Amino acid sequence: MEKNMKRLLAAAAILASFAQAAFAGEITLFTDNDFRGARVTINRDAYNLADIGFNDRASSLIVRSGVWQLCEHKDFGGYCAEFGPGEYRELPRFNDSISSAREVTRGGRGYDRDERRGGPGWRDHDERRGDWRGDDRGGPRGDAVQLFAGPRFEGAAVSLSGDFRSLNEVGFNDRAVSIIINEGRWEFCEHGDFRGQCVVFGPGRYPFLEGMNNRISSMRRVR
């Protein structure tokens, strides 16, 4: 009886490990822009990318599933950002600066280490400041704006809360095709530094941007 129980427990542990692997997220890092060069695929927490020979080497990435937090120091320290499913051909703020990576939403839904960070896309956090980019009221808060690379809120996404003179900073220049605004009124402009044609959107869901499709280069809160 005792032997049978041990066998059952061992089988259950094996099945649990298979189930965890099946639902784990996956991210691939590349040493060069545009998904070129050496690559490494990760499907579990990497506390120190030096352990797999990839410290400070990533210049582009593909998130195949889940939401991943990438940090400039090992053990998830320093400047960190979160990337949802999608292709990121360039990493201007993170080029050759990623030292640790971990999944924060398993399988894209149903699991989050911190519910305040529960949406897909790119988010910016710096532990040295202890706040989210653009939050001048102290403490973390939800993301005010979500930009999507496809219509109807599909494709790669970026979640932001602050002013950006150039969306190149987050690898999203001239990429937005749909927008969700959770709070505030925001001005979106076709050139950097809030120049060129600009439009203002208030809270709501905008599945198409028509004349501004793939033309947004900067954004700021106006109210």
Domain-located, residue 1: no
pLDDT at position 86 is 80
Q: How many CB atoms lie within 10 A of CB 128?
A: 8
Domain-located, residue 70: yes
Domain-located, residue 4: no
Domain-located, residue 191: yes
pLDDT at position 81 is 78
Domain-located, residue 6: no
Which helix H or strand E contains 101, and what residues bound it?
Answer: strand 100-105
pLDDT at position 223 is 79
Which pairs with CB-CB distance under 8 Å and at least 24 residues apart come from 114-118? 116/140, 116/141, 116/142, 117/67, 117/82
Domain-located, residue 132: yes
Which residue segment(s) compose the domain that 89 sits in? 25-221
Domain-located, residue 169: yes
All residue ranges of the chain with pLDDT < 50 are 16-22, 106-141
Domains: count for the chain: 1
pLDDT at position 3 is 62
Question: What is d(CA 97, CA 152) in angstroms, rounded to the nearest whole number?
Answer: 33
Q: List the CATH number of the domain containing 197.
A: 2.60.20.10
Domain-located, residue 15: no
pLDDT at position 35 is 92
pLDDT at position 46 is 95
